[in-house]
Amino acid sequence: MEDYILRIIIMGIISWTAAFHLFRKILPKRSFEFCNRLVSTAHATSAVVLASLSVANWACPVSPLASKSSPSQMQALAVSLSYLIYDLICCQFDKRVSIDNTIHHLVSIVGMAAGLVYRKSGSEMIAALFITEISSPFLHLRELLKELGYRDTDLNLAADISFAAIFSFARMVVGPYIAWLTLTADNPLIIKAMALGLQLVSAYWFYKIARMLSYKLTKRAASKNLACADKGASAANELAKLIPVTVKGCVVIFHLSGPVLSTSNKSSSELKIKFRIIYPWDLLITHELRKLITILPLQSISPPFSS
């Protein structure tokens, strides 16, 4: 490894650590993880910029394969290697230690260090750096928003969807192609092992992200249905208080379309609000509330319970 690359790595570790302590001092009320994610966001942004600047030909960015790394490629890799070393150490002091994240860091550190020592495979490693960091700002944004009080909001959901979409395309569409190029080219064995290891970790994370997004969308839909049911129940209660007008020979059942809980705690395709059957023949039905009721012949109804 060349001396100037080693200096970049050492200065990088010191700089990322200093940035973390600066954030802790500026934001004393924020958590350890919050400040670390600010540093991680800064790294992700700089990594994408440096990786983009080091690409010699955007018409064919992953070329030439298994070739000698350019100085700009080695500098970009050295900056990211210094961050990964800092972050691996920093995360050990947090309350939660993620095993899969630790494995990801170790695989990346070994692979990047090998690439810098061999001074080879720059194109493949820069491409891998770009696709792994392009989604990171949205990953950190969604967690930062939660601590700022925006959990379960439209803004937080937008960050979740943006992260999931970018991650899925970068790591599960472009990623396997880059891994295949790395494995089939004349690269050192340790570089090939890194490519395979990162792709396996990405596949595992993709599974977890798909489950997370499915849970959040389901939870959001259930919340909307509950809010709609509460609104409908309130409207039905108001209907019972209106000035009467005659509806002869009928019963009125208040209902609201949509899946909600019935009195037996089982889901139903239609909510009947307490099955409030009105036998008094005098009701005034406003235009707005007309949508909420069904008028049925009296003889066709057997009341489930009395009002």
Is the pLDDT at 173 greater than 60, yes or no? Answer: yes
The identity of residue 133, as a single letter, is E
Average pLDDT over residues 210-216: 86
Higher pLDDT, 73 or 248: 73
Average pLDDT over residues 230-239: 55
pLDDT score of 305: 40
The predicted-structure confidence for 30-84, as pLDDT tens digits, reads as follows 999 999 999 999 999 999 999 999 988 888 888 888 888 999 999 999 999 999 9
C-alpha to C-alpha distance for 305 and 274, rounded to whole angstroms: 9
Higher pLDDT, 255 or 87: 87
The predicted-structure confidence for 1-25, as pLDDT tens digits, reads as follows 788 899 999 999 999 999 999 999 9
CA quadruple 57, 63, 67, 70: dihedral, nearest 10: 30
What is the band of 237 on the pLDDT scale with cuts at 50, 70, 90? low
What is the DSSP annotation of 26-70?
H-TTS-HHHHHHHHHHHHHHHHHHHHHHT-S-TTSSS-STTPBPP
The predicted-structure confidence for 105-124, as pLDDT tens digits, reads as follows 898 999 999 999 999 888 99
What is the band of 279 on the pLDDT scale with cuts at 50, 70, 90? very low
What is the band of 278 on the pLDDT scale with cuts at 50, 70, 90? very low
What is the band of 244 on the pLDDT scale with cuts at 50, 70, 90? very low
What is the band of 230 on the pLDDT scale with cuts at 50, 70, 90? low
Closest by alpha carbon to 204, among 166, 160, 163, 172? 172
Percent of the chain with pLDDT over 70: 72
Is the pLDDT at 250 greater than 80, yes or no? Answer: no
pLDDT score of 255: 43
The predicted-structure confidence for 259-277, as pLDDT tens digits, reads as follows 333 334 444 333 343 334 4
Question: Domain residue spans in the chain?
Answer: 3-224, 240-300
Higher pLDDT, 221 or 147: 147
Closest by alpha carbon to 17, among 91, 113, 98, 127? 91
